[in-house]
Amino acid sequence: MTALLRLEAVTCRRGGRLLFEGLNLALAPGEAAVLTGPNGIGKSSLIRLAAGLLRPAAGTVEAAPAALADDKLALDEARTLHAALGFWASLDGRGPRMAILAMGLGHLVDAPVRILSTGQRKRAALARVIASGAPLWLLDEPANGLDSEGQERLAAAMAEHRAGGGAILAATHQPLGLDDAREVALA
Amino acid sequence: MIALILRELRLAATGGAAALPVVFFLLVATLFPFAVGPDGPLLARTGGGALWMAALLAALLPVDRLVEPDRAAGVLDQLALRGQSEESVALAKLIGHWLSFGPPLMLAALPAAALMKLPAEVLLRLELGLAVGTPGLAALTLGVSALTAGLRRSGALAGLLMLPLAVPLLIFGAGLVERGSDAGALPLLAAVSLLLVAGAPFVAGAAIRAARD
């Protein structure tokens, strides 16, 4: 089985500072890994490396098409939730409807993105990931700001994604309800 | 690509962002006769150059809304994840921006020319120059916008970067208005504009990539 994400001897430098070096990580379909470690250790940088948004100082990164949810919402504030998510979903050749329902945002489809609360924004970002259909999910603090119901929906969505042959790399300080996920502790 | 261009047009339409340069252009055209006085022949002689100055300054206004909001909101990251090269994103932005900037400015040049008492053949040369020159202006705006994205209080820096680069457009644009096409201003204006349009997507693309580190 080919890996959806493969990091080999990856070294990451930001602003002249060494964050980590010689990191190896591979995720096969259905697998999940949880990144843990203190603030500033490079969890978000590792996520961005996997997304191809940063280049490693050394080593190789190979990744399947990925969807990213970080602290940036990337939805047009003036548009309705349905239209804003629909923009990305249409680039991915899909519809946003199922993902909006999966994250419990059904009552907000016609609301403009700018009025959404912190937790609702997080849900919207996760809905963007779900709607992407990408085999690899890169989640940076996906449970931040989510209430317990939102966390359950996130856990259910992640379980379904893995059951469908997807892989997940998540950086978090909270339990995510990812069964038998590998823990990668950066230190 | 088409979806990106349509998104740019939609962003330009929301909140009247696209109207701002046009209104500014008309405002300058209104103020100039007040400053120079109601001397028809003098206005007609200097008006074309003044309108080119107004167009140049109007092109500066959208500098802070073209790239920075998309960078800050993570839209550029999400496009990269979907395999869109930064250059093609910049090209889409350039096309979308010109469509919301060039034609409205050319329309606004009609009442502006009336305010300046420009004769019909001069107006024709002004419109021709704007049609050829505004893509170059839009390209400059985009390039400077990408270069200054992520910097705080980038407005003044953007002006300092952009206006010197726009000098050739101004010289040949105003030259075309004043002396007509027999002086060779039109091909030179077209050449400068083409150079800017061809280079801007690469400059902007590299700037967007560099801003990620």
Give the residue on A whose Cα is nearest the Cα of B75.
Answer: A74
* A77 contacts in chain B (CB < 8 Å): 73
B73 Cβ contact list (under 8 Å, min separation 6)? A72, A73, A74, A75, A77
* A68 contacts in chain B (CB < 8 Å): 77-78, 81
Q: What percent of chain A has pLDDT over 90?
A: 50
B203: amino acid identity, one letter: V
* A70 contacts in chain B (CB < 8 Å): 74, 77
B100 Cβ contact list (under 8 Å, min separation 6)? B8, B9, B12, B13, B18
CA–CA dist A82, B3 (Å, integer): 16
Taking Cα atoms as reference points, which of B195, B205, B197 lies closest to residue B146?
A: B205
CA quadruple A132, A138, A144, A148: dihedral sign: positive
The answer, for A114 touching chain B at a CB cutoff of 8 Å, is: no
CA angle centred on B193, ends B75 and B98, rounded to 5°: 40
Check CB contact under 8 Å for B74 and A52. no
Question: CA–CA distance from A176 to each of A11, A90, A98, A187 (Å)?
Answer: 27, 29, 22, 21
List chain B pLDDT tens, one digit each, 213 residues: 888 999 999 888 887 788 899 999 999 999 999 998 888 889 888 899 999 999 999 999 999 899 999 999 999 999 999 989 999 999 999 999 999 999 999 999 999 999 998 999 999 999 999 999 999 999 999 999 999 998 888 888 998 999 999 999 999 999 998 887 667 889 999 999 999 999 999 999 999 999 887
Q: Is the pLDDT of residue A130 over 90?
A: yes
Q: Is the pLDDT of residue A1 over 70?
A: no
Question: What's the distance, CA B58 to chain centroid?
Answer: 7
* B13 contacts in chain A (CB < 8 Å): none
H helix or E strand, kind and range, residue A74? none
Q: Is the pLDDT of residue A111 over 60?
A: yes
**Which of A51, A73, A128 is the closest to B73 by Cβ?**
A73
| Mean of pLDDT over chain A | 89
State the nearest Cα–Cα gap between A50 and chain B, in angstroms: 10
Taking Cα atoms as reference points, which of B119, B110, B107, B111 lies closest to residue B44?
A: B119
State the nearest Cα–Cα gap between B84 and chain A, in angstroms: 10
Check CB contact under 8 Å for B74 and A72. yes
Reading the block at residue B178, the tokens are: 């004043």
Give the pLDDT score at B181: 65
**Which of B78, B83, B212 is the closest to A74 by Cβ?**
B78
Check CB contact under 8 Å for A74 and B14. no
Asked if residue A6 lies in contact with residue A136, where contact means CB atoms within 8 angstroms, the answer is no
The answer, for A178 touching chain B at a CB cutoff of 8 Å, is: no
The answer, for A65 touching chain B at a CB cutoff of 8 Å, is: yes
Asked if residue B107 lies in contact with residue B185, where contact means CB atoms within 8 angstroms, the answer is no
Reading the block at residue B83, the tokens are: 């395999």
Check CB contact under 8 Å for B213 and A68. no
Of B93 and A42, the one with more pLDDT: B93
H helix or E strand, kind and range, residue B115? helix B86-115
CA–CA dist B88, B1 (Å, integer): 8
Of A123 and A15, the one with more pLDDT: A123
A149 Cβ contact list (under 8 Å, min separation 6)? A104
Query: Using CB atoms and an 8 Å cut-off, which of residues 82-101 of chain B contact chain A?
Result: 82-83
B181 Cβ contact list (under 8 Å, min separation 6)? B125, B128
Q: pLDDT class for A159, splitting at 50, 70, 90?
A: very high
CA angle centred on B172, ends B167 and B178, rounded to 5°: 125
Asked if residue B133 lies in contact with residue B59, where contact means CB atoms within 8 angstroms, the answer is no
Check CB contact under 8 Å for A75 and B3. no
A132 Cβ contact list (under 8 Å, min separation 6)? A67, A88, A89, A92, A94
DSSP-assigned letter for residue A38 = S
* A67 contacts in chain B (CB < 8 Å): 81
Check CB contact under 8 Å for A74 and B75. yes
Top residue of B5, B14, B77, B78 to mutate, by most chain A CBs within 10 Å, is B78
The answer, for B81 touching chain A at a CB cutoff of 8 Å, is: yes
State the nearest Cα–Cα gap between B67 and chain A, in angstroms: 13
B55 Cβ contact list (under 8 Å, min separation 6)? B25, B105, B130, B133, B134, B137, B173
Give the residue on B whose Cα is nearest the Cα of A68.
Answer: B78
Burial of B178 (0-12, 13-18, 19+ CB in 10 A): middle
Averaged pLDDT, A86-107: 89
Check CB contact under 8 Å for B3 and A67. no
State the nearest Cα–Cα gap between B183 and chain A, in angstroms: 47
Strand, coil or helix: what is A60?
strand
* A92 contacts in chain B (CB < 8 Å): 82
